[in-house]
C-alpha cells in the first residue's frame, strides 16, 4: 500500500510504501482532494520516480522547492513524447536534469543570456534523431511558455535524451577516469574560493552533470569556437574571480588532457561555477560562517 507523504500540487506528490521507501508520483489529478496519509489512487499514477538512492530523492525534492511545478509538468510532457518518438525509455534521473535545464534555459532567456553550444554541429551530425525530437520539444515549450528558444538549446536537450536512455554499456573504466578528473576540478574550485561545497545540493549536481557532458564531448571530436564572443566578454568582466578560477581549470585540462577550453565552454563553466559558489556563500552567510 502506497500512501501520500506530501502533496506538491494536484499532479505531483511524494509518497511512501510499507517499507518507507519514498517515491515521486506524477499523474493528472493524483493529489486532487487528497491529504497527507491518504492512500494513493493507483489508476491515476502515470509515472513513478523510483529514485532509489537518497541523493536522487533529495535532489528531486530540492528541485521541487526551487522550480515552478508547471516546469515539471512541461518536462514530463516532453519526455513522454520523446520516449514515443525515439522508441526508448529514459532512466529516472533525466527528469531531474532535464527539468532543471529547461527551467534554467527559460530563466536565461528572460535575462537576455543566450548560450551557444560549442558542440552544436557534432550533436546534429551524430545524434540526428535526438536533435530532431529536441526541436519538437522547443515547439512544446513555446506552446506552453510562449518563449522561443534557439537551436543551441535544442542541442542541449538532445544531450539529455542521449545520456538518459537506458542502454547497457561497459563504462566502468571510463567512468573511473571521469570521476578522477571531476574530483580534481572540484578541488581546484574549493581551493580557489577557499570553501567547501555541499555535495547534496542541486547546484552541485548541475555542475557535475555539465562536467560529464564536457568530458564526453572533448574525447576525439573536433571542437569549434565562435567569433561572436560578446556575451563571454560581458560575463568575464562581471565575474572576474570566477574567470580566474576558470583559467586554473583550463591550465589543468591543458596539462592533464592536452586540450584547452574554447571561449564558449569557458562561458558555460563561468555560469555554472558562479551558481555553485554563490549558493554556497549564501549558505555560509546564513549559518554565520
DSSP 133-149: HHHHHHHHHHHHH----
Domain formed by 69-164, architecture:
Orthogonal Bundle (1.10)
SS3 of residue 248 by DSSP = helix
pLDDT given for residue 74 in this prediction: 93
**Average pLDDT, stretch 168-178?**
50
pLDDT given for residue 102 in this prediction: 93
* pLDDT-wise least confident of 13-17, 114-118, 216-220, 260-264: 216-220
Angle, CA 228 vertex, CA 259 and CA 260 arms, to 5°? 5
The three state secondary structure string of 170-220 is CCHHHHHHHHHHHHHHHHHHHHHHCCCCCCCCHHHHHHHHHHHHHHHHHCC
Residue 212 has pLDDT above 80, yes or no: no
Q: E strands along the chain, which residues?
A: 3-9, 12-16, 22-26, 47-49
SS3 of residue 81 by DSSP = helix
**Average pLDDT, stretch 2-24?**
81
pLDDT given for residue 92 in this prediction: 75
**Average pLDDT, stretch 243-267?**
88
pLDDT given for residue 208 in this prediction: 80
What mean pLDDT, rounded, does the chain reach?
80
**Average pLDDT, stretch 35-43?**
86
Q: Which fold has domain 3-51?
A: Transcription Regulation, Sacy; Chain A (2.30.24)
**Average pLDDT, stretch 128-135?**
94
pLDDT given for residue 194 in this prediction: 87
User: Looking at the chain, which residues constitute the CATH 1.10.1790.10 domain(s)?
Assistant: 69-164, 173-277
**Average pLDDT, stretch 20-30?**
80
User: Looking at the chain, which residues constitute the CATH 2.30.24.10 domain(s)?
Assistant: 3-51
Q: Which residue has the cell 555553485?
A: 276
**Average pLDDT, stretch 242-269?**
88
* pLDDT-wise least confident of 50-54, 138-142, 259-263: 50-54
CATH superfamily, domain 173-277, is PRD domain (1.10.1790.10)
pLDDT given for residue 53 in this prediction: 58
**Average pLDDT, stretch 44-73?**
74
Phi, psi angles (nearest 5°) of residue 35: -140, 165
pLDDT given for residue 132 in this prediction: 96
Amino acid at each position: 500500500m502506497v500512501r501520500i507523504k506530501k502533496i506538491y500540487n494536484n499532479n505531483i506528490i511524494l509518497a511512501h510504501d510499507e517499507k518507507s521507501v519514498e517515491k515521486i508520483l506524477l499523474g493528472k489529478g493524483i493529489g486532487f482532494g487528497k491529504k497527507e496519509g491518504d492512500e494513493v489512487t493507483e489508476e491515476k499514477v502515470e509515472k513513478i520516480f523510483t529514485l532509489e538512492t537518497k541523493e536522487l530523492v533529495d535532489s528531486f525534492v530540492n528541485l521541487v522547492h526551487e522550480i515552478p511545478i508547471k516546469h515539471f509538468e512541461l518536462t514530463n510532457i516532453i519526455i513522454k513524447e520523446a520516449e514515443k518518438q525515439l522508441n526508448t525509455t529514459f532512466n529516472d534521473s533525466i527528469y531531474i536534469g532535464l527539468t532543471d535545464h529547461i527551467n534554467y534555459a527559460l530563466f536565461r532567456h528572460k535575462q537576455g543570456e543566450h548560450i551557444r553550444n560549442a558542440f552544436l554541429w557534432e550533436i546534429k551530425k551524430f545524434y540526428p534523431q535526438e536533435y530532431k525530437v529536441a526541436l519538437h520539444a522547443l515547439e512544446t515549450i513555446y506552446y506552453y511558455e510562449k518563449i522561443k528558444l534557439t537551436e543551441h538549446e535544442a542541442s542541449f536537450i538532445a544531450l539529455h535524451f542521449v545520456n538518459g536512455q537506458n542502454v547497457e554499456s561497459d563504462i566502468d573504466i571510463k567512468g573511473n577516469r571521469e570521476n578522477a578528473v571531476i574530483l580534481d576540478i572540484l578541488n581546484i574550485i574549493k581551493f580557489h574560493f577557499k570553501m567547501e561545497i555541499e555535495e547534496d545540493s542541486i547546484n552541485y549536481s548541475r555542475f557535475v552533470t555539465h562536467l560529464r557532458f564536457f568530458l564526453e564531448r572533448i574525447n576525439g571530436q573536433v571542437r569549434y569556437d565562435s567569433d561572436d564572443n560578446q556575451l563571454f566578454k560581458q560575463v568575464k568582466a562581471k565575474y572576474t574571480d570566477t574567470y580566474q578560477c576558470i583559467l586554473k581549470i583550463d591550465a589543468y585540462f591543458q596539462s592533464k588532457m592536452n586540450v584547452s577550453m574554447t571561449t564558449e565552454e569557458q562561458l558555460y563553466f563561468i555560469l555554472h561555477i558562479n551558481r555553485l559558489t554563490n549558493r554556497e556563500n549564501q549558505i555560509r552567510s546564513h549559518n554565520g560562517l
